[in-house]
Amino acid sequence: MTFMDLNDTIWNSNTTISGYVTTIKAEKLAWDAEAQVQDLDTTGATDDQTSKRIEAAVQTAHLVKGLKAFYLSTDDKVNYKYINHPISKLLNCSKAEALLKMRNVHDNAAGITPVSLLANFYITAGNITSQASAVSAFAASTTTKQTIKDTSKTATAQIKVHEATIRKTYKKLDPLIAAMALTQKSFADGYLVSKEIYNMGKGHQTADLAIEAGKNVTAFGNKFEAGYYFLIRNKSKFPIIVGLSTTENGAIQTTPIQMAGKAELVVFIPKSAIDMLTRYLCIQNVSETDKAKVTVIMSKEKSTSKAKQVEINGIPK
Domain ranges for the chain: 2-39+146-194, 43-142, 204-311
Residue pair 267/230 in contact by the 8 Å Cβ criterion: yes
Q: Which one-letter DSSP state was computed for residue 102? A: H
- Residue 317 CA, chain-centre distance (Å), reads 35
Query: Higher-confidence residue: 47 or 32?
Result: 32
pLDDT, tens digit, 9 for 90 and up, residues 211-236: 999 999 999 988 888 899 999 999 98
Question: What per-residue confidence (pLDDT) applies to 200?
Answer: 44
Query: Higher-confidence residue: 63 or 190?
Result: 63
Domain 204-311 has what CATH class? mainly beta
pLDDT, tens digit, 9 for 90 and up, residues 278-314: 689 999 999 988 899 999 999 888 877 888 999 999 9
Report how far residue 139's alpha carbon sits from residue 98's, in angstroms, rounded to the nearest whole number: 10
